[in-house]
Amino acid sequence: MIKGIGVDILDIGRMEKIIEKDDRFVKRVFTEEEISYCDSKVNKAQHYAARFAAKEAFFKALGSGWRNGMSWKEVWVENDDLGKPEIKIKGITEGHFKKKQFQSINLSVSHTREYAVAFVIIE
């Protein structure tokens, strides 16, 4: 049963300016693994934007937004063996997820040269 949905879209040009100008933003929002993954790509801004959109969409689907001690680095995106992106959670965010008795997180991301979008369904 669907318990929450969230969607977010991000301008890749905006993300490109942010990551070029503010290294603190990248370190505050993304895990070391996400940083390594994104920095290894030719157009790293696309990948940062998709992961940021996924985090935003997740917090929207959670129904609480980003608050109550949750942090950006408690939510991250990993790709499975076939390349499918998956949201992983830990810490206070995972506790909130379990408290609501949610079972699973479904993620879809896509991007063009200009935009990245993420859609999350929590069951």
pLDDT in tens, 32-48: 999 999 999 999 999 99
φ, ψ for residue 120 (rounded to 5)? -125, 135
81-95 residue pLDDT tens: 999 999 999 999 999
Whether the per-residue pLDDT at 98 is higher than 90: the answer is: yes
Active site residues: 60, 111
Count of structural domains within the chain: 1
**Quick one: pLDDT band at residue 22, thresholds 50, 70, 90?**
confident
Lowest mean pLDDT among 46-55, 61-70, 95-104, 114-123: 61-70
Mean pLDDT of all residues belonging to the chain: 94
The structure's pTM equals 0.94
CATH number of the domain where residue 41 is located: 3.90.470.20
Boundaries of domain holding 74? 4-122
- Hey, what amino acid is at 15? M
Closest CA to 9 of 123, 108, 122, 121: 108
Per-residue tokens: 7 = 């969607």
